[in-house]
Structure 1
Amino acid sequence: HFTQAFTAAFQPVNPSIKARDRLAALKQLKSDKLYFQQAPLKGHDVILGRKWLSAKNPSIDWTHDHVIIKHNGTDITLPQFPSSPSLPTCNLLSARQIKKSLKDPTAQFFLCYLHQISQSLSIPPSPPVSNDPPEIQQLLSEFKDVFPSDLPPGLPPKRTVDHRICLQPGSEPTVRATYRMSTAELQEVQKQLEELLDKGFIRVSSSPYAAPILFVKKKDGTMRMCIDYRALNKITIKNRYPLPRVEELFDQLGEAKIFSKLDLRSGYHQVRVADEDIEKTAFRTRYGHFEFLVLPFGLTNAPATFMSIMNDIFRDFLDRFVIVFIDDILIYSKSLDEHVHHIRQVLTRLRQHRLFVKQSKCEFARSSIPFLGHIISHNQLSMDPSKVKAVQDWKPPTSIKELQAFLGLANYYRKFIQHFAAITSPLSNLLRKTEGFHWGPDEDKAFDATKQALTSSPTLALPNPSLPYTIWTDASSVATGAILCQDQGHGLQPLAFDSRKLKPAECNYATHDREMLAIVHAIKKWRCYVHMQPVTVLTDHCTLQHFKSQPHLTPRQACWMEYLEQYVPELKIEYRAGCLNPADSLTRPPPSQLSAIGTVTWDENFISKFTKGYRRDSFYLSSAPTHKSVYYESPFWYKTDSHAICVPANRKLRHLLLREHHDQNAHFGVDKTLAAISANFFWPRLSRDVRSYVRSCHICQCNKARNAAPYGLLHPLDIPELPWSHVTLDFITDLPPTASHHNAILTIVDKLSKMAHFIPTSTTATAQHTAELFFKEVVRLHGVPSVLISDRDSRFLSRFWQTLFNRLGTKIRLSTAYHPQSDGQTERMNRTLEDGLRACVNACQNDWDLHLPDIEFSYNNTVNLATGQTPFYLATGQNPRTPSSLVHSPTRDTAATAFLSSKNTVIATARASLLRAQRRMIQYADQHRRDIHFNEGDQVLLSTANLPLLQEGLTRKLAPRFIGPFTITQVLSPLTYRLKLPSHINIHPVFHVQLLRPYHQPPSHFPSSSKPPPPPMFTPSPDLSEVENILAHEDTCNGTYYLVKWRGLDEPHNLWIHESGLQYAQRALTKYLASRTAPRTSATPKLYSCL
């Protein structure tokens, strides 16, 4: 092909050159060897490149438009440019010549119209050169019928959906007068009416409806005739068919690389109006009354109808490789071959449904394409500059309506704009009904800032559903902000920005709740992305890391927790410093500029300590001058990277700095103290020294809250073998007095069967009276228990109580001080009983003792979740008869052996159930506890949470949380320890490990930083054996008993205590023995003497 084309192009310049010379030259050229690369050239066979031009060195004759090649002295020319066509000439003929020509049978005659022209004819324009790939051009050529220059005449076919106009019941036909128009507009009306009539889209009407017409200018400058259907739309029942959200459409494009866009030609005119509704589309003009047979512009339900048709047509393509918004179609693919196949499928579907496309508005196989006001490219989304350009010339609004129009545009692009809520806050405030429209400097500044943000917004990445999401959040006192990000192989990239103003009530939230509100709002905003996806939230509020494990939640926080667990169960909250949080700028204005009002200089004594320290430190004497990590600038050595002052190895100097930055700085924790020191000073192992110093600070140990899990793993009591062998007792006090003068309840619970007895009593009941109640209500029915478990109530510590049950062979187990969990069963029972009483008592709350028998029966006849049986059944082997159970009573008695076997089986099953429940309880409880062990001689601090204050006027909020240190004198169990308490603390010295904290001595390499303990602020509780005085004593065969007067209690509470129980009341005992004037008594309780 090259040889033929090249040979045919030669034309000799000099006619005198012989033909054989030209042929020889052609043969010579023909024998050249040239190498070409295949390419889709437009209208050319070959292109001769620079290599050939350098070898032949042709010359260009611009006058004759020739390229001349010399070969063996011969000029060979190639025509380079096409010559301009000559103007057509018109010769005038006389009448005689025409008459003569008519007689010629071979002559042909044509009728032509001549128009005078004022300028010469130009070269006819060549068809536009397409930039589409050859595959696309071939495809468009194949589907030329889908791209007509205009809609074909005639009505479109009947589709699955024709446009319906359903009116509200009782509506009258709407009639409106025509609008006045200019001459140019009237001419346009005539022209468009003719076109619509010729195409069959409208017809002459006699409808009772009549709407006026108006014109809207198109982008290309032409006028579109629209019908003012506002009156008709007002009485039309709205079609709620959903239009897709633009954000959701873009979410489908994450991995696409090639895009094509189709725009239907007059899309509405390709949909028919239902026959029964044609008359409602009628419109009037100066030239007549007409009605539409196809869907006109301006009807309220037109977008819904068209969207419904498009979804029906492309339903199996949607969100796979096609997205549709009314008459705009976007095709997206990952490769060109795949894209060609997708376009073919779409065009085939359009051909099948006789839908036509306007080719001039289409774009094919683009890597970047405008769509719905955005620029879409591979994994990126940005605003369309052509849409935003109008914002630059937008004048400041002069009314609420103009402001709403501006904010409407800005809000459409708010996902691109950082701190949108903060920027537009002054403008959005003007939309409040309580605010008037007052445009001032703040509004003008916000208006300009919004325009600047719209014209300089970043490019966003498109989401990839297969990758996890990251959300940065932050909150200030006025707004919340968030950034949705994703790492798609190039680090975290923003997918969307969001911010909003806080409501007035939300501004009052605590900092923790405002920061959590920012997270919840971000999850709600982007739920369509993060629903059931792994999400990491990065916040600059440290405590939010533990939100999901927070033991106590407010009702508001509980609602948030429930929402997050429902939609984002894999949510992970991590801490990032505020300076690293990009969302921080979404909620906070830039900092104000400050100027210095004074200067501070170093103290001379302080400088001298450094100078002496440098002289005694070998590093600064020898190595430092050549070391790159430090430099000297009188009078200090400085760290090269942080410019912090280097502190020499002087214990007193470093201790001074630690004390200044910790003790004199509100005793902050390790992190804050370390940050305060390292901002200005440095020495090796600074972090270790700060941690050791703060950990051993006496004031911090006594006053700082314990943030770690409580000490001590769960060690539940053994499960008894038989019912009513292990019994627990407790009192419910502070109840309103009843008519029977009861104001307390004695609760007694069997540890195996969980059967309970609720006995009304009084707070003034003595140990003897309590014992009488126990024998009457428990021993009478169930016998004497082998183990009795109770708290440290003074009645249970009395000589009477102790002697009574020692004689009966019952072991008494008392809970440790301030740890009611030791008798957790009775404590839980008390709560259940209180809940039942609340539901039964009268308005005066003075009849609660009358309801105790009913509540006791109901409780004992209810299945216990731990045992799986009712307490009645476990204790007696059968359930009590009730009216409902009589219907199902057996007709014959069960054999005795079967009864006993069943009872033993049930008890064994209950014990197994209790063991399983106990193991589950241990497993769950130990997840929130820490195991710790102390040894004899260890020093610990004692919690003051349960110690009453020494004097009135003091507040527990400012009192130390711990006192001590105290030495452990005996390890009673892994959970209980006996302490050596000072003489003024006359309480039972055995404590649960949860009330203790290890005491850390000051490190040896620092001078002692311990301070003397503060003056006593607490006094022990009367319930914990605080002896005021000893009144009498009695010698028995079991030892000596003393009559004890308790501090703060009156005479009825005086108790007999064995001498072994007074080892921590030595002061009162010594005082009593020294006096020896107290009368001896032989009086003993009546019940004890009877036994």
Structure 2
Amino acid sequence: MTKAGDDDWVKHAGLVNRECERFKLSAMTEDQFKCLVFVCSLQSPEDADIRTRILSKIEQCPNMTLQEVTAECQRLVNLKHDTSMVENNGQLPYVRAVSGKNDSRSRKVSHTDNQPSSPCWSCGGWHYKRFCPYKEHCCSKCHRKGHKENCCRKRTHKRHSLKPYSKKYRFSARTNKILVSHNRARICRQRKYVNLDINKKRARLQLDTASDITLISRRTWNLIGKPQVLPTTQLAHSASGGKLNIVGEVCCTVSKGNAKTNATLYLTQNPGLDLLGLDLIEALQLANHPINHICSAVRTSKPVEKDLKSVVLERHSQVFMEELGECKKVKALLILKPGVTPVFRPKRPVPYAALPIVEQELERLQRSGIIEPVNFSDWAAPIVIVKKPNGSIRLCADYSTGLNEALEAHQYPLPVPEDLFAKLNGGKYFAKLDLSDAYLQIPVADECKHYLTINTHKGLFRYNRLPFGVKTAPSIFQQVMDTMLQDIPGTAAYLDDILIMGTDYADLENKVDTVLRRIADYGFRLRAEKCDFYMEQVRYLGFIIDKNGRKPDPENVEAIKSMPPPTDVSTLRSFLGMVSHYGVFLPDLHRHRAPLNCLLKKDTKWFWSTECQEAFLKLKQLLSSNLLLTHYDPDLPIIVAADASNYGIGAVISHAYPDGSEKAIAHAARSLTMTERNYSQIEKEALAIIFAVKKFHKMLFGRQFTLLTDHKPLLTVFGSKKGIPVYTANRLQRWATTLLGYDFKIKYQPTTDFGQADALSRLIGLHEKQEEEVLVAAIDVEAEVHKILSDAVSGLPVTFEAIKEASKKDNVLKIVRHCILNKWPSSRLHGELLQYFRRRESLTVVDSCIMFGHRIVIPRNLRHQAIKQFHSGHPGISKMKSLARSYAYWPSMDHEIEQKCRSCWSCQEAAKNPTRAEPQPWPKPDGPWQRIHADFAGPIQGRNYLVVVDAFTKWPEVYDMPNTTSESTIRRLSGLFACFGVPEILVTDNGTQFMSSAFKRFCNENGILHLQSPPYHPQSNGQAERFVDTIKRALVKGGGEGVPEQVINKFLMSYRVTPNPAVPEGKSPAECMFGRKIRTVFNSMLPPRKTNKPTNENRKVNRSFQVGEKVLVRSYQGNKKWEPGVIERRIGNVLYLVRKDVGKCIRHINQMQRNDSTVVTENRLPFQLLVDSSPKNHHERKYRKDKRRREKAVQPSRVMERKRNATPKLQVDPRKKSYTTDFKGGRCDDGPPVNSRKL
């Protein structure tokens, strides 16, 4: 539906809405909607016919998925193209891939005229249905015969599209397919192969002048470094008219001799299909040379009746899928030794430049279900990261750091050679299957997963699959393999290799099918390029197995037989050292070596005579005889010795016997390449160990053995219980990861006692052919190291050539390079040489440049330029160090980086605040009110408050200030000082009121030391600042409880009486300030205290008056001093209400005295009162008067007769309660308040 030119937008929107409702989008599934969009997108006139057919197909099958629609569309395109090809008699490029010998029913090579117009509906191949090989095949989906699973017409809810060759490359649906298949007519008795250099990697392709294009298999693609695969539309047919699944095209540089060209190679999924076509034959001008000069002939041992491998790969495609398998029957169980302690190792540093690819690899492993993140684990192992030549990495867990020692051995024995050979006895033809990532296909039990935790810079992850490097993994895997194959005769499993024997081709094919079906049932996946389905003999565990039985492998003693004669005294000593090592088994050894011993005498001229040659040959014969050789027996201790010289490496695997003697199982040796001869000595020795372990892999893997070396530094690299050292040289680190999967103990043996391996490394045959597997491994390691070198240089502003030339001219680096390649001096070094000496085990030489781990060493004259480049983005010191440590190294690099950052004005100008120094507390005062802190709080609700806090007692004062001027501040502080005294120190901030001249004068006049905190650093006045924050929060909390003054007063009262841990002895501020507790409303909750009042001898006797008693009260009006009255009521302890003749008054006891008249009680009669008040007789009154006069005349003595204590001086004790006798407004401190107006 398209918008017409005269339609407006509103009308077009209505049409869209109507059509969407007609399609009922809400009722459609996601796949149906995708198919609708796909069909609607086919608007081109060329696609009209296909669109019609697709709509018809969808109408018939409404549940089709987008993948099915795409496949149907592609099928129609191919059908249309092929039809036009037949009509136009067009020519297509052909690939004449021919294999197998034609039998009596063989047919001639078909041509395009005999090809069908469409693929076979039973299998998808390009042949007529009557020739389909799947006529009797039973489909696993519908369980019917006559078609393959991918051509089954039974629909399922989930349909999976064919998996692309690599996850990295997605091809469009319009990519054309190349049509090729193998014609099983004949296999050539003698094939021609050409060795080419593709992307500087050696590869071998079969010469095929009948092929228009050049094809490579996946194995060759891996060998040449996995270059990028691009989509292709190229079509091709094979000689038999079948189809060939071409994944894509690869652009490469191809050379042969002096000829070199850029060519396009086509990648196929057919294993072993490597054809050199006419395109490269013409480009490299190979047709101009004799064929024998450019080809190597490979003769097959015997014609085969079938191309078994291609049939097997097609029939059991599920087992060979490009994915990681998962065992469905068994889970690995790891058992710890009793009482072990979990080992948690910290993460290892990851180079700054490698962080992105490490994170990508961790994400890939998570997506594959191999690992999963965890938040906590008692166990953790570090990881080792190895970078591959293509830029990706290999991540290995180093479980040698603790877990392997804690694991209980899995009590399942590995098969002994005799049992394996017994199962293969009677076989004429053999097949070998290899599992892809064998251990990772075994899931781990949930209760054991936390043992396999790894520690990375992204956190903790645990393995869900059995990883490489776990000690018990070989035994666990062997048990699974034996269980899987236990009821299939003629099969034997040894770790990840499965051997199958057959008495003839049919028997072998049947057994292979049975094993592959069992493997598919278990969920495993195989690696097609490493599987061999037709072999007449197989090498295994030091033997060759064929139809005649087994025999010792000649390679076991090939290194001895090809050993050349010694050329000097040094090589002769090595050879005789090897002879002496096995001397206990050699009869008449002294007689045989006598001619050679003569050459070792002092001052003897070297001359290799005929007698010496005969003695040498005789000793070689004895060394390779059965006297010194033994067969492999896994029940005996295994010893592997490896040594290296400047031009060769050698190794020997032996058995140790109870009497202490050793017998060799096999010897191995090879010469070093020109690149390997530039290795440092430690790298050469490590290479010899790796060569030995790989050479004797089948005898060593899964078993414990002893590794002997005469190079002591390797004990730290390969034998450390703490794992692989972090800063190990690149090659050593990669080789150390190879050894993680082996269970060994490495020991040092002096060179003088190391003859069994020393001679093999020095006496190397002139024409020693290197093992292809070892060569590939060496190339891979070297490619990885060069990749790291190029990555390191890519991050620098200088080129590799500049660093290389500057390194050759640098005097220090020349000495370092010489020491690396030869030997470090034993004398003490100084300066930069000492720094390099301390890191000697991590240094290596790569293409005349010195590498420190993964970092390149920068010569002195290029360091300033490197520093400048690292600082180009003005990173901080830490980030600049991290960046530099990812690429470069030189002594004192960190110090120079720090100097560069500190001297950069741009960095200093934009620098952050320095790291906070440790807070320095104020010195503690000796007593109250020595140092006080003051600050202003506010405005708070439109008000400003002056806050003062005593540093010793934490006693706070808060004043509501009308303004914040100096005058108001001085006035308030003056009143405060009048109450509590003048402090010694006053601490404030830099407010204008505190910095004015008036305030300075105020402090000077009062003798106060005024201290100010630094600007914008309130922490220096923390006492006041902290209480400002406290008072603000108090006002917020108590906002609804009254006016701010009331809220503040309540808060201050509570704060002052609350014990404070910052106050000495944890007292309250009030108690510490005044030496006593002040009374609060809470005191009324306590019972009254009974106190013993102190007595005073000078104090007068307590006086009291009773109600109704006559008294004389002090008069303060008129001329009368005393006035009579009667006590009417007692108000307090010393206050009385007195009724006078006129009115009433309140008087203190000190303002009253007794009246001599008789006390009148309320119940007396008026008569009695009259009698009592009548005057006495004259004599009685006279007697009393005289008596008082005499008493007054007698004065008491001023000198005391008894001894008295000294009168104490007056001392003020603030803790004791003081009393006053002031009476103001009807209130006395000794009694309750009285309202005088009510009296």
Give the TM-score taking structure 2 as reference length: 0.26
Please tell me whether Structure 1 or Structure 2 has the larger radius of gyration of its CA atoms: 2
Give the TM-score taking structure 1 as reference length: 0.29
